[in-house]
């Protein structure tokens, strides 16, 4: 094949220089060169160098898939074999879902499309991708495509958002919303993914520090990491969940949560994830998050006499009810005995109340140290203001009442 031909071709030039199999003429020339170099010096290893260069060319041609490497790989194919096999038109009526993993380049994408019957050859796809503006930005995910498409049509369709079958987990989103989105993308009846999560959560390989916690509303809460994940009809919900959980495990391990818990007076990484979910839920902007993290840590301190270790967060109560409501009466809150009711129970809720994103995680590990212990969304929506004393808090509360008409 052409791989052997290129490497072998490089080797064929070696004997004339190094003498290997060159006959009397080669041996005489080699002896003459040794004499000119000086007694005892080793002959130059030109054979090894030339073979190495040839191998490098082969690796570039066949290992390529991104940018110029993909382009030159296609040019090599075209020069060696001619025009790449390709279908004509926009494809048949039969559709197929193709999953593209992270980091896949043009050749890998083309190979997967060929295996699925979408394009006729990976080489044709690389050529079409190279000649389509913006096509080098094709993202990982699941794509709904047609069989027997021209490579150019396949590229255009992959750039169309309508072909992309993914579930997006947004920072702070609760698992209930993610489950519903997976059901919709996989065209499953409502509640299917939630039931799978409830029955199989022990099989998803959660870290030891995330297991066996009591009174949890959902043991997978906080482990469907924000991001974009392939999800299309024909896939199983557990496969989609596994991707999200795997990403969460990877991120939490990278942050070293289990080792850092003690630095913040907490027992485990699970409590740190819980703090990050509170920061994400209560903070409205990037600047809020570090202050919100300090509020949480200050309220958890044993010597906190301002709130007696009670967080008093509406977000934990709303999570319990599956709602988002900033107008909760004291009577309603005081009557609910749930451990997620942080107005009644001191300390953290049993577990995370959503899926924190990168900003919240970083803020949780790097809080401010300014003495913040109170906060109020004074406009009733997104403008969160912080206070250090109860008197300052009452001023913010008056401002909230004036702005919201309470």
Q: Is position 192 within any domain?
A: yes
Residue ending a domain, choose from 221, 254, 287: 254
Which of 63-72, 106-115, 120-129, 308-317 is predicted least confidently? 63-72
List the end-to-end C-alpha distance of the chain, in Å, as a whole number: 80
Same domain, 241 and 116: no
Whether residue 24 is found in the same domain as residue 116: no
Residue 6 sits in the same domain as residue 26 = yes
Tell whether 282 and 182 lie within a shared domain.
no
Percent of the chain with pLDDT over 70: 79
Share of the chain above pLDDT 90, in %: 66
Q: 135 and 246: one domain?
A: no
Residue 48 and residue 145 share a domain: no
Record the tokens describing residue 78, joined without a space.
Answer: 């075209």
Q: What is the pLDDT, as a whole number, of residue 284?
A: 87
- Residue 58: its pLDDT value, please? 38
Segment among 71-80, 204-213, 356-365 with least mean pLDDT = 71-80
> Would you say residue 298 lies in a domain?
yes
Inside any domain, residue 290: yes
Q: What is residue 330's predicted lDDT score, i.e. its pLDDT?
A: 83
Q: Tens digit of pLDDT for each residue in 258-303?
A: 999 999 999 999 999 999 999 999 998 888 999 999 999 999 999 9
Q: What is the pLDDT of residue 357?
A: 97
Residue with tokens 């209930």: 176
Task: Please tell me which residue, 9 or 241, carries the higher pLDDT value.
Answer: 241
- My answer on whether 323 and 353 are in the same domain is yes
The number of distinct structural domains making up the chain is: 4
What is the largest distance, in Å, between two alpha-carbon atoms of the chain? 106
Do 205 and 294 lie in a common domain? no
Q: Are 255 and 210 in contact (CB under 8 A)?
A: no
Domain contains 155: yes
Backbone φ, ψ for residue 37 (5° rounding)? -70, -30
pLDDT band at 115 (very low <50, low <70, confident <90, very high): very high
Determine, yes or no, domain membership for 18.
yes
Does residue 34 sit in the same domain as residue 141? no
Average of pLDDT values for 190-195? 98
Residue-wise pLDDT for 294-349, tens only, equals 999 999 999 999 999 999 999 999 999 998 876 788 888 888 999 999 999 999 99
Q: Domain for residue 259, yes or no?
A: no
Q: Which domain range does residue 216 map to?
A: 166-254
Q: Is residue 338 part of a domain?
A: yes
Where a domain ends, among 254, 286, 317?
Answer: 254
Better pLDDT: 75 or 187: 187
Burial of 41 (0-12, 13-18, 19+ CB in 10 A): exposed
The answer to whether residues 286 and 368 belong to one domain is yes
Is 260 within the bounds of a domain? Answer: no
């Amino acid at each position: 094949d052409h791989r052997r031909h290129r490497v072998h071709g490089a080797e064929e030039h070696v004997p004339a220089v190094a003498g290997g199999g060159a006959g009397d003429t080669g041996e005489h020339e080699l002896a003459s060169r040794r004499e000119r170099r000086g007694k005892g010096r080793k002959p130059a290893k030109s054979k090894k160098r030339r073979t190495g260069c040839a191998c490098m060319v082969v690796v570039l041609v066949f290992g390529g898939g991104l940018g110029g490497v993909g382009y030159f790989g296609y040019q090599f194919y075209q020069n060696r074999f001619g025009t790449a096999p390709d279908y004509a038109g926009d494809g048949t009526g039969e559709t197929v879902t193709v999953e593209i993993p992270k980091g896949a380049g043009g050749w890998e994408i083309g190979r997967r499309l060929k295996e699925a019957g979408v394009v006729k050859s990976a080489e044709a796809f690389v050529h079409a991708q190279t000649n389509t503006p913006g096509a080098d930005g094709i993202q990982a995910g699941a794509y709904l495509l047609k069989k027997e498409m021209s490579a150019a049509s396949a590229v255009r369709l992959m750039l169309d958002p309508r072909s992309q079958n993914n579930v997006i987990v947004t920072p702070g989103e609760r698992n209930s919303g993610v489950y519903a989105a997976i059901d919709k993308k996989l065209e499953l009846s409502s509640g299917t993914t939630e039931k799978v999560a409830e029955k199989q959560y022990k099989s998803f390989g959660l870290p030891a520090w995330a297991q066996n916690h009591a009174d949890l509303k959902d043991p997978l809460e906080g482990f469907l990491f924000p991001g974009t994940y392939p999800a299309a009809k024909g896939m199983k919900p557990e496969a989609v969940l596994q991707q999200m959980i795997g990403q969460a495990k990877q991120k939490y391990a990278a942050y070293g949560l289990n080792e850092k818990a003690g630095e913040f007076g907490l027992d485990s990484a699970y409590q740190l994830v819980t703090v990050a979910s509170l920061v994400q839920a209560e903070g409205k902007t990037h600047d809020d998050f570090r202050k919100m993290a300090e509020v949480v840590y200050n309220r958890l301190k044993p010597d906190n006499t301002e709130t007696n270790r009670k967080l008093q967060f509406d977000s934990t109560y709303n999570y319990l009810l599956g709602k988002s409501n900033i107008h909760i009466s004291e009577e309603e809150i005081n009557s609910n005995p749930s451990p997620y009711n942080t107005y009644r129970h001191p300390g953290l809720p049993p577990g995370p109340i959503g899926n924190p994103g990168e900003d919240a995680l970083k803020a949780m590990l790097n809080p401010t140290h300014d003495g913040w212990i109170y906060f109020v969304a004074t406009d009733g929506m997104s403008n969160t203001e912080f206070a250090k004393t109860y008197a300052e808090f009452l001023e913010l509360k008056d401002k909230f009442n004036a702005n919201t008409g309470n």
